[in-house]
Chains A and B, each alone.
Chain A
């Protein structure tokens, strides 16, 4: 069956360090993958999109990698700040009309 796995345990990291979040998937062949940020009680906010033929994408302090052989995406936040504390969701293209399937997310806590 299709599965998207994100570390369900919270990730605690010291301010200034690089946070790395993992998204693994099975039985998908996504044309693209997205990362979103979700704050408590709010809707997710889009961060980055990476296509299957792209290895890496950057936006300011954010970097996403996409390895279709390993079926894995890594999401990095460099020089992390307490304001980066949130839940981060990966989402895989799931066929037509921009349908995506979301992982359950990883909660990141940046400690001052």
Chain B
């Protein structure tokens, strides 16, 4: 069966520090991969999605970036975090074709 791993579960970082969140998927190949952010009491905001290795589409201009170095690995990065980057970050995957997205358990990021 397919599984998605996301880590760390929680992270506290100072303003201006770098960020790297990692997501890996097991049990499937060539998935679509997604990074979302969910602010408190808000909906899920799509940040990046990827349909293949090295292919990244950005949905919202910001100081975040994403990379997909391997088929089932998706990384969210920042060189310098802002206070506004705080939130709940979720990674998801979907198979090709119409179907559901499957989410990881998320990373709660707090910026101090």
Knowing A97-B49, A98-B94, the reply to whether A49 touches B108 (Cβ < 8 A) is no
How many chain A residues touch B (Cβ–Cβ < 8 Å)? 24
Residues on the A chain within 8 Å of B32, using CB: 97-98
**What per-residue 1/0 map shows which CB atoms of A71-110 lie under 8 Å from chain B?**
0000000000000000001010100011111111100000
Residues of B within 8 A of A (CB): 32, 36, 41-44, 46, 49, 51, 57, 90, 92, 94, 97-106, 108
User: Does A44 lie within 8 Å of B44, measured CB to CB?
Assistant: yes
Knowing A42-B105, A43-B92, the reply to whether A49 touches B100 (Cβ < 8 A) is yes
Which of B46, B99, B104 makes the CB contact (< 8 A) with A99?
B46
Interface centre among A45, A51, A89, A100 (most CB of B within 10 A): A100
Residues on the B chain within 8 Å of A45, using CB: 103
Shortest CB–CB separation between residue A11 and chain B, in angstroms? Answer: 16
User: Does B98 lie within 8 Å of A43, measured CB to CB?
Assistant: no
**A32 contacts the other chain (Cβ, under 8 Å)?**
yes
CA distance A32 to B100 in the complex (A): 11
